[in-house]
Amino acid sequence: MPSLSPLYDDTLALLRKMIRNACVNDFTPGSGQEVRNADTLERFFADTPNITVRRYESAPGRVSIVVTLEGTDPTAEPLTFLGHTDVVPVDVDRWTYDPFGAEIHDGRLYGRGAMDMLFITAAQATVLRDAARTGRPTGTLTFVGVADEESRGTLGAKWLSEEHPEAFSWRNTVSETGGSHLPIADGSDALVVVVGEKGAAQRRLHVTGDAGHGSNPYGRESAVVKIGEVARRIAAIEVPVSQDPLWQGFVRAFRFSPEIERALLEGTDDTAFEYFGDLKRYAHALSRLTFSQTILRAGTAINVLPSSATLDLDIRPLPGTTQDDVDAILAEALGDMFHDVRIERLISEPASVSSTESPLYQAIVDTFDEFFPGVPVVPTIAAGGSDLRFGRRLGGNGYGFALHARERTLGDVFHLLHHHDEYIELEDVDLTVRAYRSLVRRFCGV
């Protein structure tokens, strides 16, 4: 590793403390207890000049912290670092190292949340503290350590955006992840910046049947058979490939042969996704509206014919696809069964995407070029969700931005998210804190 950033040691120390706090969010209101990381962050910022620190508690122990470094020019563009402080549960028996020990082995820091996204959160906090010690920015610089991201932000960013929209500016926001590399077909390099994310169109499909004793099925309509046929019809849905410029730019960035590129862009041969290697599933998700059948429910006892059955669908729409569009596709797929199926909307959120022509996007591109001169930057969207969508709903721009070494691909990052033995390369901790410090100088002038 080359000479380290002066901020590296502080970033690493903070990151290890946050991992050890074990703010595990198991998707119940009482879990997470991000108050531990909020307390750690508040101590980290103690005696820092020019800042204000505010805490927001959406439920007992579910604390988000907002640290503001006020700018000198109220008309200048603000910048907000949005880092979450909760992590997902672990299967301890599947880990080689203590998931909350923050142990370092062979240049890697192991621990739940090391990649998702505590290394970014720690880098953001360290950079704001350093900027505050340096002077005053032109535009206001804010760090937010937010709770409950892993459970769709209900008690974190969503709650803040609805209950305390004045707490910080959503106008220009940086969060997870970005900054990894694409395995280009000709061996060249490209960097990823995340500019948006797919939406959610979760559905529960209900059917009914005839109840009765399992020993007397004759003449009875089976709810299980009906839901099985519903599942078969859903599986047969053929979704056309997207014509969105982000998908087209992603494909062209790989520099495949004209034949492969044409198959991907026109949707004529799905086997072409194999050429993406580890990114084939992500690329497929980026290319279209997706339907995943995830939960099937029917019956309670083996000797009772159930009177109802349900099928849950995890549906992820691209920008431009509405909830009504999704229901229309389902209705067409169900065909003559449509009137026998009740479609219930569960979590329903539109896809969101930020401009690639904003001042912040250009500053991110310029920062990438500082560290990887001449390497093209490829804007893409996330197949899952992040807290950035709440800012986009308020009219702001939000980008996933970090920085990884040349050999770390987007597929490598995806592999570690929520995985056993999650880790972050120490080199990438250093690169990310350097990149954030450079971005702040470039965008905020401090």
Give the start-to-end residue ranges of the domains of the chain: 8-184+352-444, 199-341
What is the pLDDT at residue 1? 52
Of 197, 87, 200, residue with least CA distance to 147: 87
CATH superfamily for 8-184+352-444 is Zn peptidases (3.40.630.10)
Sign of CA dihedral 157, 160, 163, 167: negative
Q: Pick 199-341's CATH classification: 3.20.20.70, 3.30.70.360, 1.10.150.530, 3.90.1150.10.
A: 3.30.70.360
Phi, psi for residue 26 in degrees, rounded to 5: -100, 20
What is the pLDDT at residue 361? 98
Write out pLDDT tens, residues 15-66: 999 999 999 999 999 999 999 999 999 999 999 999 999 999 999 999 999 9
Helix (H, G, I), strand (E, B) or coil at 390: helix
Asked if omega into 117 is within 30° of 0 (cis), the reply is: yes
Which residue matches tokens 């969508």? 389
Rg of the chain (C-alpha set): 24
What is the pLDDT at residue 2? 66
Write out pLDDT tens, residues 87-118: 999 999 999 999 999 999 999 999 999 999 99
Q: Whole-structure pTM over 0.85, yes or no?
A: yes
How big, in percent rounded to 5, are the helix, strand and coil portions of the chain?
40, 20, 40
Intervals of the chain under pLDDT 50 = none
Distances (CA, A) of 438 to 90, 357, 371, 432: 34, 20, 10, 10
CA 277, 247, 196, 285: dihedral to nearest 10 degrees?
A: -50
Judging by beta carbons within 10 Å of its beta carbon (0-12, 13-18, 19+), is residue 238 exposed, middle or buried?
Answer: exposed
